[in-house]
Chain A
């Protein structure tokens, strides 16, 4: 389990040790202050990008808490992630309007196309797939966004093409 949570491909181990040392310092500074776990997890996630088990262990040891409690808090709040974040974030809107206009069928199509379920990141590290509760574009329902780009009136058979366009765009930029 710990192996699976190591940073994604391209991890620079020396750099990783530097990050972990910074996490140790961040957590150690907060030791003994009551109710500081959430704040520490925020800071640590900002440093490391996400909160895998070995990072939670450092937080637990430095704050003198049990690992189960740290993990319990990290898994309770949706803004903490125990998986590496993808390069891009897909947010599928499941607000009322998008929901009644077939948002769930888009979720199904995305899960199939991405090969991961809601709340997870694709194996290649390209996309994190999340749900949004209304993005304020009800007239465009069902809607989804990838990073800052909003896709209106999405149909299930368009999903593959949309995802491919992001691979193409990244490939172009890389050249």
Chain B
């Protein structure tokens, strides 16, 4: 521990604390802007400057370490004036359109003005050149950017993608892809982690609400909504509820109140994914153990940010990806076929909306691969944040809503589906089904949990040994499958480099594009600095949902069984392949697509690596 004096108070702080952290311990809060714990700490905005006795210059308290005997003043007149001038300079190059900005009342720059007591500005002049870049997932509006570079840190350091960086210099500086190209043309995964950390409206999800409002108001449209598992663990935060409070019932009521004709659950799609993906895994294992051709490890394909990253960074490893569509596109395909038939509605008159913790899914739904019979599987994606905005707009008193239910027949799910929203969940759900199919016994472990893969570690591994198997799986007797689970694209790269080198020891790998999985997705409520353990709380919420259910294995879902009996036939059967499985598109290392000369090479190289199809 070290001792220092802040504003006349004696403060003890652990060695290595910054002045800002030490001040917090003493109950002194220092105004700050670019500082974002765990993401970005490079002191670029200077709002948090303080006076330190014996030092001439004001110092950024978010990066300067507290030292024994230091005497710090955090709000002298000199400090106050410095902050005001810095704020004045920031705001002089910022549009004054707060009342019609998507971050109105949640903008950190706006809030800082209040904190600093700014009542007028003095600096007026020319503003930096403006570029607005609208990709299917993310909208960049450079006039609202304050160059704090949190997004650059999120993209480079957290995700390891590096799609955006400061371009040009001085007044012309802009955070953008190389040569200020549009996001859609480069190797952006569309994960949206940049939109979660952006303090202003410079980086946001591309609006999906307009089209949803239009559909809701169109009497000729049957408007169907589905909600991903992770949304229920975080939506309440948008209404000032504590992180980790699940709002499944209130959410169902709100969606009915918004006017959706059918309120379904992407969890149903998750149970369906397990049937398809589990079967695919068994097929690949069967082929491999019987001396046939099979690409292993198989890698999960639920996360469209991960998929796009893999297409750019590992185009030659695409056959490792499961051919399963993501759960919400699977459900979209089922809604526009099985359910459309059932209720006698032409799929063309249906409008399917997915509420997702994700921005990448906005990109995913407009991929040419995601359609059947000329209809897109899903018509619009809303983020958790956008759903909250629609609920507020409708004047719904969310916190006091009665609990409602999802609609039949695509609203019932097992506990296995709930944990799809957190790192390790897809793997555990798959193994609950695969292990039981093979051995006839439930997955061993604590309360159906495979403990080594529960939690927020970056890379988690486990061994599963199949013993006393059913006769039809005799070839699996005594076989140990090594599995790995990771989340965040930078961590995925670690496992993928092994796959690329041919040294991966694993049979099955789960990858989620965002760190910790969908609970921390790019479309989720923004990080609350006052609740540093929000990810753990959201994780617990999903495991609680799982444990609270009677049925916790996807293959036990009676409505899934009915779907196969009435419609699909069998998992990975002909109709499944048509509706629920997909293909992938190799992309350039830095470009949207392969350059021409590489396209020709690609087919040859792939034939050499994996044999002719």
Contact = CB atoms under 8 A, between A and B. Distances in A.
B167 interface: yes
A66 B589 CA distance: 10
A53 B589 contact: no
Contacts of A71: 165, 167, 177-179
Given A61-B589, A66-B162, A1 B169 contact: no
A116 interface: no
A72 interface: yes
B161 interface: yes
Task: Pick the most buried of A66, A68, A71: most chain B CB atoms within 10 A of its CB.
Answer: A68
Contact of A72 (B161, B165, B589): B165
Task: Pick the most buried of B161, B162, B166, B178: most chain A CB atoms within 10 A of its CB.
Answer: B178
Interface of chain B: mostly helix, strand, loop or mixed: loop
A56 interface: yes
A1 B187 CA distance: 16
Interface in A14-68: 53, 56-57, 60-61, 65-68
Contacts of A69: 156, 162, 165
A94 to B, nearest CB: 15
B127 interface: no
Contacts of A78: 169
Given A53-B178, A71-B178, A71-B179, A66 B163 contact: yes
A76 B176 CA distance: 13
Interface in B146-179: 156, 161-169, 176-179
Nearest to A76: B169
Interface string B333-370: 00000000000000000000000000000000000000
Nearest to A57: B590
Interface residues of B, number: 19
B181 A66 contact: no
A8 B521 CA distance: 45
A69 B163 CA distance: 9
Given A1-B179, A53-B178, A82-B179, A72 B590 contact: no
A56 to B, nearest CB: 7
B169 A67 contact: no
Contacts of B177: 67-68, 71
Contact of B178 (A61, A70, A76, A77): A70
A75 B168 contact: yes
21 contacts: A1-B179, A1-B181, A60-B590, A65-B162, A66-B161, A66-B165, A67-B162, A67-B590, A68-B177, A68-B178, A69-B156, A69-B162, A70-B178, A71-B165, A72-B166, A72-B167, A75-B168, A75-B179, A76-B167, A76-B169, A78-B169
Given A61-B589, A68-B177, A78-B169, 20 more contacts: A1-B181, A53-B179, A60-B590, A66-B156, A66-B162, A66-B163, A67-B186, A67-B187, A67-B590, A68-B163, A68-B164, A68-B165, A69-B165, A70-B178, A71-B177, A72-B166, A72-B167, A72-B178, A76-B167, A76-B169
10 nearest A-B residue pairs (beta carbon): A66-B162, A71-B178, A68-B165, A72-B165, A67-B590, A67-B178, A75-B168, A76-B169, A68-B178, A69-B165
Interface of A: 1, 53, 56-57, 60-61, 65-72, 75-78, 82
